[in-house]
Amino acid sequence: MNKLAKSFVFILLIFLSLSLIFSAMSGLVITPEKISLSEAIQVLKEEQPMEVVLYPNKFEIVLNEEKTFVAEREPNVSFSETLQNFGFLPEEISALNIEVKGESSLTFFLSVILPILLPVIILGVLLFYSFRRANQGAMQIFSFSRSNIRLFAPSKDGITFKDVAGLKEAKEELKEVVEFLKTPKKFYDLGAKIPRGVLLMGPPGSGKTLLARAVAGEARVPFFHISGSEFVEMFVGVGASRVRDTFATAKKSAPSILFIDEIDAIGRIRGAGVGGGHDEREQTLNQILVEMDGFDRDTKIIVIAATNRPDVLDPALLRPGRFDRRVILDMPSINDREEILKIHSRGKTLDPVVDLREIAERTPGFSGADLANLVNEAAILAARRNKKNISQQELLDSIEKVILGPERKSRLLTKKEKEITAYHEAGHALITALLPGTALVRKISIIARGRAAGYTMRMPTEEKYMKTHSEFLDDLCALLGGYVAEEIKFKDVSTGAANDLKEATDIARSLVTKYGMSKKLGPISFDETEELIFLGREIATEKNYSEETAAKIDKEVFDIVNKCYQKTKKLLQKNINKLELVTQELIKKETLEKEEFEELIK
Ligand code: ADP
Ligand code: MG
Ligand code: ZN
């Protein structure tokens, strides 16, 4: 609309300037007075004209500077004949200063050419504009096939391995890549084959993107960054041509790094899709494979891809010669967490007595991104509390905020609700403390947070990567502790236990179907499911066992939960005094720290 208005104004301007030119020219030329032929003869006879100008069809009598007459000529008769016919003598005729002119070029232009030319010009201008507009649209369609690959100049980014905490093995693997990009000759001379693709695998927030950028920073080579989802568009065939374009761009500035983030968006197992759309993904993926196979020995490009779903990746991607280097990024261990906290508290004013180790101890299961978020939350909290620096308290408070969402002080529990919540949480805490399992009570609170009315923070005593059957059972009992405590005290249960029960049931089911920890069903995994993927979600799982077995599984799950329930009930009944003690203290203080709680139950 705007453009239309613009071109309209433009055309109007052309008209205006044309008419201006016309009027200017007509002003320059003295308009001659029109007279008849006989009058003209009269003038010629009586006056002494300066000049007579002959045109093909007319003649002008220039009398003096100001006065000019114009008259029609007789057709098909020469001017001198006309004069002779009117009785002019030959001497009189030769005395006249006669000048012969063709059609004046200006008048010819104005009268003959312009009327034809003007519409043509206007039409041309209009066509030009509309073509250009259409062309722009067309160009947009063409540029779909170009990738919006981003280039990070290594110096600008400035992220190096220094900025990545932990991830030792991953860094070690990637150092090789860096070295190759820096001195490829060293490797070629020994006949070493260079990896073409490195796949970074790790849960969300574990630092995959960060690490890839650090590699580029270390190697100081061009770093091309594109996300897997950017290959996929609404037009079929676009993805593949984008891949071609991406690789071509990266090749032009080799040695370079091509980073494909979230490759699972295109690299899913082929043929797993339902309905349309996956065809396009397949083609895109195929093109990536083709491009990577097309690397010759001298192609100095290393493709780094990142995913948090290695399980859904197409096996063809993982074949040698493609992403044959696989680097696993683990969740940070306690030492790594301390490191990450240190990195992210750079440039923030921390209280000098802050103990980051304690924060690291309290944050098992936090990813790098969670920790970065935690430090930031603490800074915001400190600012809101008008403090000069971030103290331990803000960091501790932020842990809970990151896990559970903000405190909801405004949500007031009724006296009865508060009592129920206190018993419930005390039940969780007491069972956790009484069973030898792996967890410790860090904190109990009946202040509402996020969607939970209260919570018991249980933390593993040490970093563990495996869990035994009995530890699972202890966890299950601790989960039931809240429900059982309510039941014992009030002979009634509330909806507050719904989440606990779901989690408990999930654990029991996993014990049976996943880990083979049920005596009755034996060491068999019943977990194999055919995934049907639709829009990236599982819509159906298929059992690979009979209905009979399904019934057995259900029975076994029920038995496990029930056994734990009985055990928990017995335990709490035996320790009813401690339960009362903890509950009353909770109602009074609302929050109990680890030390206070341990003192109470001694
Ligand atoms: P991913 O790509 O694995 O989902 P990112 O690389 O985007 O995760 O990490 C998100 C943020 O978390 C990073 O920008 C960084 O601030 C922080 N982070 C994650 N891991 C680390 C780490 N090992 N060291 C320092 N910071 C980290
Ligand atoms: Mg990422
Ligand atoms: Zn609970």
Write down the pLDDT at residue 532: 44
Does the beta carbon of 166 sit less than 6 angstroms from any atom of ligand 1?
yes
Write down the pLDDT at residue 269: 62
Give residue 7 CA to ligand 2 midpoint distance, Å: 46
Query: From the alpha carbon of 213, which atom of ligand 1 is closest?
Result: 6
Ligand nearest to the CA of 432: 3
Write down the pLDDT at residue 140: 52
By alpha-carbon position, which residue is closest to atom 1 of ligand 1? 205
Determine the Cα–Cα distance for residues 311 and 309; give it in Å rounded to an integer: 5
Give residue 207 CA to ligand 1 midpoint distance, Å: 3
Cα angle 88, 91, 96 (rounded to 5 degrees) comes to: 80
Does the beta carbon of 210 sit less than 6 angstroms from any atom of ligand 1?
yes
Write down the pLDDT at residue 325: 82
Give residue 532 CA to ligand 2 midpoint distance, Å: 25
Write down the pLDDT at residue 407: 67
Does the beta carbon of 207 sit less than 6 angstroms from any atom of ligand 1?
yes
Enzyme catalytic residues: 425
Determine the Cα–Cα distance for residues 337 and 459; give it in Å rounded to an integer: 15
Does the beta carbon of 204 sit less than 6 angstroms from any atom of ligand 1?
yes
Main-chain dihedrals φ then ψ at residue 58, nearest 5 degrees: -150, 170
**Alpha helix locations (H) across 491-546?**
498-513
Query: From the alpha carbon of 202, which atom of ligand 1 is closest?
Result: 3
Does the beta carbon of 372 sit less than 6 angstroms from any atom of ligand 1?
yes
pLDDT along the chain (602 residues), means of 10: 69 79 62 82 80 81 81 81 81 79 69 80 86 62 56 66 86 86 82 81 88 85 81 66 81 82 74 54 79 73 85 76 82 87 89 88 84 92 91 89 71 79 93 85 80 77 78 92 93 87 91 88 72 46 77 93 95 94 90 88 84
Contact 251, 149 (CB under 8 A): no
By alpha-carbon position, which residue is closest to atom 9 of ligand 1? 207
Does the beta carbon of 340 sit less than 6 angstroms from any atom of ligand 1?
yes
Give residue 492 CA to ligand 3 midpoint distance, Å: 15
Write down the pLDDT at residue 275: 46
Query: From the alpha carbon of 343, which atom of ligand 1 is closest?
Result: 25
256 DSSP β-pair partners:
301
Ligand nearest to the CA of 496: 3
* Residue 285 CB partners (closer than 8 Å, separation 6+): 266, 267, 270, 314, 316, 317
Q: What is the DSSP code (8-state) at residue 260?
A: E
55 DSSP β-pair partners:
none
* Residue 99 CB partners (closer than 8 Å, separation 6+): 51, 52, 53, 54
Contact 227, 149 (CB under 8 A): no
Does the beta carbon of 228 sit less than 6 angstroms from any atom of ligand 1?
no
Write down the pLDDT at residue 104: 62
User: Ligand 1: which of 208, 210, 348 to mutate, judged by most atoms within 8 Å of the beta carbon?
Assistant: 210
Give residue 380 CA to ligand 1 midpoint distance, Å: 20
Q: Of 321, 308, 302, nearest to 261 (Cα)?
A: 308
Domains in the chain, ordered, with CATH? Answer: 24-103 (3.30.720.210), 150-328 (3.40.50.300), 334-404 (1.10.8.60), 415-600 (1.20.58.760)
By alpha-carbon position, which residue is closest to atom 5 of ligand 1? 207
**Alpha helix locations (H) across 435-536?**
469-490, 498-513
Determine the Cα–Cα distance for residues 214 and 218; give it in Å rounded to an integer: 6
Query: From the alpha carbon of 332, which atom of ligand 1 is closest?
Result: 23
Give residue 368 CA to ligand 1 midpoint distance, Å: 5
Give residue 366 CA to ligand 3 midpoint distance, Å: 21
Give residue 220 CA to ligand 1 midpoint distance, Å: 20
Give residue 501 CA to ligand 3 midpoint distance, Å: 8
Contact 384, 393 (CB under 8 A): no
Does the beta carbon of 368 sit less than 6 angstroms from any atom of ligand 1?
yes
Does the beta carbon of 305 sit less than 6 angstroms from any atom of ligand 1?
no
Write down the pLDDT at residue 581: 93
Query: From the alpha carbon of 206, which atom of ligand 1 is closest?
Result: 3
Write down the pLDDT at residue 429: 93
Does the beta carbon of 164 sit less than 6 angstroms from any atom of ligand 1?
yes
Structure tokens at 3: 């453009």
Write down the pLDDT at residue 476: 93
By alpha-carbon position, which residue is closest to atom 15 of ligand 1? 369
Query: From the alpha carbon of 166, which atom of ligand 1 is closest?
Result: 23
Instruction: State whether residue 94 is helix, strand or coil.
Output: helix
Omega prior to 255 cis, within 30 of 0: yes
Ligand nearest to the CA of 366: 1
Does the beta carbon of 49 sit less than 6 angstroms from any atom of ligand 1?
no
Query: From the alpha carbon of 329, which atom of ligand 1 is closest?
Result: 3
428 exposed, middle or buried (CB, 10 Å; 0-12, 13-18, 19+)? buried
Does the beta carbon of 214 sit less than 6 angstroms from any atom of ligand 1?
no
